[in-house]
Amino acid sequence: MPCPTHRGAKTVTQSADRPVDLIETALFNNRLWATEIQKNNPEFFEKLSQIHAPSLLWIGCSDARVPANQLIGMQPGEVFVHRNIANQIQAADMNCLSVIEFAITVLRVQHILVVGHSDCGGVKAAIRGDAPELVSHWVRPIQRLFIKHMATLKELPFHEQVNALVRLNVIEQTKQLAQIASIRSAWQKGQQLTIHGWIYTLQSGLLEEVTHINNIAAADTILLKAE
């Protein structure tokens, strides 16, 4: 069925082609995508439906500009994904903790990526203190991190403050991960597992590793130093 807003492009996402009905267009694009894959690889979906065995867990920001699979060239089935505002791991967040536990004990992923990004709205909100109530509560740990590093951060212009805090937040989240029971238990059992702290730069499209932790001794050294 031809889409009324489809004008010959593969997908209709450009602003000039702003769809009249976004939902109809999304469904149309989906059929186009599935048909294209079926054509090139007739067994793709059948195979994908039979096994779920990603090697990576991506914990990133909900920001629409930072889509996990696309940035690292991975296909459906290759990345287990959890996203929230400002890519945080909080000790009382059952959602995130369940994802991590499942990823380690059932999927047996070998890498956990915590991915922050430049110009993060959640980090800006933590600095400005201007978010709606729930978001404000959610980003409070980042606000505390800002206050902790206030002496050096306050010297910077706002834009640089944000990106410096994005970096500090990613490092902090790797430390949070290093304290999680399911991760420590995996290390104690000799399971191969590395936590990576990454930053994605919106302006260049590039990812950079800022830190990694791959065993319990390294984790404890980092955590002791942080105290």
Which positions lie near Co ion, rule CB under 5 A? 61, 63, 120, 122
Which residue's CB is nearer to Co ion, number 63 or number 172? 63
Q: Is 56 helix (H, G, I), strand (E, B) or coil?
A: strand
Beta bridge partners of 59: 82, 114
Assess whether 63 carries a catalytic annotation: yes
Contacts (Cβ under 8 Å, ≥6 apart) of 111 = 55, 56, 57, 193, 194, 196
Assess whether 120 carries a catalytic annotation: yes
- Shortest distance in whole angstroms from residue 63 CB to Co ion: 4
Which residue's CB is nearer to Co ion, number 61 or number 68? 61
Assess whether 117 carries a catalytic annotation: yes
10 secondary structure, DSSP code: S
Residue from 82, 111, 117, 196 carrying the catalytic annotation: 117
Which residue's CB is nearer to Co ion, number 29 or number 63? 63
Burial 149-158 (b: 16+ CB within 10 A, else e): eeeebeeeee
Could you give the strand order of the β-sheet that contains 206-213, starting from the edge strand earlier in sequence? 79-84, 56-61, 111-117, 194-201, 206-213
Among residues 70, 86, 83, the alpha carbon closest in space to that of 33 is found at 70
Which residue's CB is nearer to Co ion, number 61 or number 168? 61
- Shortest distance in whole angstroms from residue 62 CB to Co ion: 7
- Shortest distance in whole angstroms from residue 33 CB to Co ion: 26
Residue from 18, 52, 65, 159 carrying the catalytic annotation: 65
- Shortest distance in whole angstroms from residue 116 CB to Co ion: 7
Q: How far apart are CA 38 and CA 11, in angstroms?
A: 17
Catalytic residues: 61, 63, 65, 117, 120
